Amino acid sequence: MRQVALIGIGKTAFGAFGDRSLPSLAAEAVGLALSDAGIGPSSVEAFYLGNFAGPSFTGQNHLAPYIAGMAGFAGIPCTRFENACASGGSAFFHGWQSVAAGLCDCAVVAGVEKMTSRNTAQVTEILAGAGDMAGEGQAGATFPALFAMIARRHMFEFGTKREHLAAVAVKNHANGARNPLAHMRKTITLEQALAGKLVAEPLTVYDCSLISDGAAAVVIVPVSHAPRYRSSKFARVLAAVQSSDTVPLDSKPDITTFSAVTRAANQAYAQAGIGPRDVHLAEVHDCFTIAEIVASEDLGFTPKGDGGPFAAAGCTAMGGVIPINTSGGLKSKGHPVGATGVGQLCDLVQQLRGEAGDRQVAKHQIGLAQNLGGSGGTCVITILEAA
For 242, other C-beta atoms within 10 Å of its C-beta total 24
Nearest to 307 by CA among 150, 192, 194: 150
Q: Sketch out the chain's domains with CATH numbers.
A: 4-119+211-235 (3.40.47.10), 139-205+237-386 (3.40.47.10)
**Which long-range CB contacts under 8 A does 130-137 form with residues at least 24 apart?**
130/52, 130/84, 130/85, 130/373, 130/374, 130/377, 131/247, 131/248, 131/374, 131/375, 132/247, 132/248, 132/249, 135/248, 135/250, 136/248, 136/249
Residue 120 has pLDDT above 90, yes or no: yes
- Supply the pLDDT for residue 231: 60
* Mean pLDDT for the stretch of residues 23-50: 97
- Can you tell me whether residue 178 is helix, strand or coil? coil
Active-site positions read 85, 335
CA distances for 167 relative to 145, 189, 307, 313, 316, angstroms: 20, 9, 11, 9, 10
- For residues 293 and 144, give the distance between their C-alpha atoms in angstroms, rounded to a whole number: 16
- Supply the pLDDT for residue 229: 84
Q: Are strands 378-386 and 366-373 parallel, antiparallel or unpaired?
A: antiparallel
pTM for the full predicted model: 0.97
* Mean pLDDT for the stretch of residues 228-234: 77
* Mean pLDDT for the stretch of residues 161-177: 98
